[in-house]
Structure 1
């Protein structure tokens, strides 16, 4: 992880998909349909086992979401920041360092993967990635209606990664060490 990057992959790094989760995936309707369509006498067909391997093999790819992007999406729409986008109130040359109150940000992502067994057989496998971050001591550097830099304070996070109706990972509240200052280059525009 470089000094500017902290993804959900980093956040869930120590979590593993247990046997209970794998069994849960086998009981999902989409997977059971594959077992039903395959009459080879095996409890779990080759296709259903391949589907489970594909799901498990792609979870890491789905977790490439930057935590800073989750935070910025919430902050850029925060009504109290809108005044900093007004050039009549704040000159584009003026640099403001704004301390943020203690707050929480909840984020839900719903990616999916499509698994194709043949031209006739495709399965769209939905995921739900949920996170909650409790933040205190954060500050934003704002200029010309844009968030230019994040100064990180204390951050606690929890979350889960579910596939269909099966929870693959669940992370209880834990301290997150974000980089102390995150430079946003050209900046992220605040929604006025």
Structure 2
């Protein structure tokens, strides 16, 4: 994979084709009545074709792929790692001088993410309401290598990622999908993702509200100086250490930040 290529939440799970397959099943009469009742309050007095509500719902569902077109390496994975305590030492310019890249290997771990993008359609300038999509996903990342420079994650090298996704629209389950992708190569993060220092950890609540992912794993999370394979006297390097069960990835979990 070239460094300029991107990977989105939508493309990872193949959301466009998956939603298209589920659309007819999703558009049952009970749901259409509920949708019609809500939108109908906003279009009172307008002359509309009989198929208006179903056509509108079809167009909204067609927007699902765009709503979850979120950059996975940058806006979910890197932003989750950037607030992890194991990376805070890279904000110290004395230990890690500017313009001198560091490499940080990550062991197998899980990331969870929660998003609520919405569409607000209008007709003749009149708003028809806010229709939110709830997207919950978790990823089992089988190791990664980060390049860090100037207190920013600038590049990510990944090999194998598994994920679960659930989408809910208008309170009704729309899609559940599992995917696995082997990702050879490097993702370059334009302008980098800034690592949060200890004084900035109060921003975590804001990031959670914005829908960014968080690291999920059993304690302890970090081991500052593990010995690399090779026997006594081998080099040491900071790792994020996690030890999730080896079996299948868990169901999507609500995000949480570690203190």
- Pairwise same-fold verdict (TM > 0.5): yes
In the other structure, the counterpart of 2:172 is 166
The answer to whether the 8 Å contact 2:109/2:143 transfers is no
Structure that is richer in strand per residue? 1
CA distance in structure 1 between the partners assigned to 2:23 and 2:123 by the alignment: 25
CA distance in structure 1 between the partners assigned to 2:2 and 2:52 by the alignment: 39
Structure-2 change in CA distance of 1:178 and 1:63 (3 Å): farther
Question: How far does the alpha carbon of each residue in 1:136-188 deviate from its partner, in whole angstroms, 9 at most, with x for none?
Answer: 2201011221112101032101102221112222102x212335211224322
Structure-2 change in CA distance of 1:98 and 1:2 (3 Å): closer
Give the superposition deviation at 1:117: 3.3
In the other structure, the counterpart of 2:224 is none
CA distance in structure 2 between the partners assigned to 1:66 and 1:180 by the alignment: 16
Equivalent residue runs for 1:27-38 within 5 Å = 27-28=33-34, 30-34=35-39
Query: Does residue 125 of structure 1 match 2:126?
Result: no
How many equivalent pairs are there?
A: 186
Runs (5+) with no aligned partner, structure 2: 45-49, 198-259
What TM-score results when the alignment is normalised by the length of structure 1?
0.84
Structure-2 change in CA distance of 1:119 and 1:185 (3 Å): closer
Give the superposition deviation at 1:35: 6.1
Equivalent residue runs for 1:9-28 within 5 Å = 9-13=10-14, 14-15=17-18, 16-23=21-28, 25-28=31-34
CA distance in structure 2 between the partners assigned to 1:74 and 1:110 by the alignment: 17
CA distance in structure 1 between the partners assigned to 2:38 and 2:143 by the alignment: 50
Corresponding residue to 1:46 among 40, 45, 51: 51
Q: RMSD between aligned alpha carbons?
A: 2.6
In the other structure, the counterpart of 1:78 is 84
The answer to whether the 8 Å contact 2:39/2:129 transfers is no
Corresponding residue to 2:116 among 97, 110, 114: 110
